[in-house]
Amino acid sequence: MNEVLEQLYARKSVRAFEDREISKEDKRTILEAAIMAPSAGNQQLYTILDITDPDKRVRLSQTCDNQPFIAKARMVLIFCADCQKWRDAFEAADCEPRRPGAGDLLLAIEDAVIAAQNAVTAAWSLGIGSCYIGDIMENCEIHRKLLGLPEYVFPAAMLVFGYPTKQQAERKKPERAELGYIVHENTYRHMEPEELQRMFDKQTGEKEYRDWMQAFCRRKYNSDFSREMTRSARAYLKEFEEHPAGAGDCSQPPLLSR
Ligand SMILES: Cc1cc2nc3c(=O)[nH]c(=O)nc-3n(C[C@H](O)[C@H](O)[C@H](O)COP(=O)(O)O)c2cc1C
């Protein structure tokens, strides 16, 4: 296995950090690596918020489903899908841009998350661990205010970084479902309950499948944080979907394709 593959296989999330700063040089290297990621039309449809204010980190550790390790991280980055800056630039150059829609948002989210993953990989290569925090998508109203997010900016991914503690470095990486369940050839294939059960074999361990699945569903999918994420995402989406029809409207397909 070459070094890149070795690192991709070895990387795992880190949630407890050593008492050691990330140097300015390493931080810059991670950020530079992030922006080397591909982006749609090289537009870099994202803005990275570097959260250096300790009070903001503490607040985020509360608003992101109360995860105290966020406040203890040595670097906190929020990758925002940014449909605002191009719109502002288009307007300033009298381009008469339409209002951004759901497609623009999804494209910008792709750009933002791809850049975030570059940061994860770059950090790991420097011995620095990281963890995504999906809960940044929650609490739209609070996060908009806390981070000063304008209308067409959505916090797509949050990452916390730091040097792993010994325990974290030695922690076993969680198992993955085997490739055969993940890769479908040419068309999507619905899996029968028996196959789905086999897919989770490595994760259920000693536990009865049904019990494991019910506990997981309760803890994650049906949880309060998950419901809040959907509510909050809808509030962000509203800006992209609900706007007055007219010249700037992109909710209707172009005339030719109707
Ligand atoms: C989009 C996304 C959101 C996540 N959110 C959280 C989170 O809020 N808290 C947390 O502790 N881990 C979070 N994780 C980390 C996952 O739990 C972790 O990636 C997964 O269990 C696989 O483990 P590994 O990263 O160690 O391979 C998130 C990961 C992703 C990709």
User: For domain 3-174, which architecture applies?
Assistant: 3-Layer(aba) Sandwich (3.40)
User: Looking at ligand 1, which atom is closest to the CA of residue 135?
Assistant: 8
Helix (H, G, I), strand (E, B) or coil at 78: strand
CB burial readout 13-51, b (16+ within 10 A) else e: ebbbbeeeebeeebbebbbebbeebebeeeebbbbbbeb
- 76 has which bridge partners? 160
Task: Compute φ and ψ for 159, nearest 5 degrees.
Answer: -130, 135
Burial of 92 from C-beta contacts in 10 A (0-12 / 13-18 / 19+): exposed
How much distance in Å is there from the Cα of 13 to the middle of ligand 1?
7
Residues 117, 34: Cα–Cα separation, whole Å: 7
Hunting for tokens 């008469």 — which residue is that?
96
How much distance in Å is there from the Cα of 158 to the middle of ligand 1?
11
Residues 135, 142: Cα–Cα separation, whole Å: 12
User: Looking at ligand 1, which atom is closest to the CA of residue 173?
Assistant: 26
Structure tokens at 96: 């008469």
Burial of 73 from C-beta contacts in 10 A (0-12 / 13-18 / 19+): buried
Residues whose CB is less than 8 angstroms from the CB of residue 205 and which lie 6 or more positions away in sequence, other chains included:
212
pLDDT of residue 251: 53
pLDDT of residue 205: 83
Residues 214, 209: Cα–Cα separation, whole Å: 9
- pLDDT, one tens digit per residue, over 227-253 is 999 999 999 999 898 765 444 555 555
Residues 14, 31: Cα–Cα separation, whole Å: 19
Domain layout of the chain by residue ranges: 3-174
Residues 117, 102: Cα–Cα separation, whole Å: 23
pLDDT of residue 258: 37
Residues 157, 117: Cα–Cα separation, whole Å: 10
Helix (H, G, I), strand (E, B) or coil at 79: strand
How far are the Cα atoms of 159, 160, 202 from residue 70, in angstroms, in the given order?
9, 6, 29
Per-residue tens of pLDDT for the chain, all 258 residues = 999 999 999 999 999 999 999 999 999 999 999 999 999 999 999 999 999 999 999 999 999 999 999 999 999 999 999 999 999 999 999 999 999 999 999 999 999 999 999 999 999 999 999 999 999 999 999 999 999 999 999 999 999 999 999 999 999 999 999 999 999 999 999 999 999 999 999 889 888 999 999 999 999 999 999 999 999 999 999 989 876 544 455 555 545 543
| Atom 31 of ligand 1: nearest residue by CA position | 132
Residues with CB under 6 A from ligand 1: 12-13, 15, 67, 131-135, 173-174
Helix (H, G, I), strand (E, B) or coil at 173: coil
How much distance in Å is there from the Cα of 117 to the middle of ligand 1?
12
